[in-house]
Amino acid sequence: DRLKHCQKFAEAAMSLGSETALVYSKKPIMNQLRRILRHRCEVPNSNQVIDMSFEFESSFLTNYISTIGKILLDKQPL
């Protein structure tokens, strides 16, 4: 799986403190995340409400994301 490979790479790069590796791999990682977000989820019962969430350790993730980029909403930083 490409996704698992990206995840393992990002975890290894972050644990080793290799911000340079993350910067150079930002585009492939973002492409994999976009692919996941576009993926259609097949739900057995379309009338059933599905609660989907992304859990993360905020301080750890925020520290690394702030060094490799930023999130924009309508071309404005959040």
Average pLDDT, the chain: 73
CA dist., res. 21 & res. 13, Å (int)? 6
Q: How far from 35 is each of 2, 20, 39, 48, CA to CA, in Å?
A: 11, 24, 6, 24
The model's pTM is 0.35
What's the rounded Cα separation, in Å, for the pair 63 and 74? 23
pLDDT digits (tens, 9 = 90+) for 38-50: 776 666 676 777 7
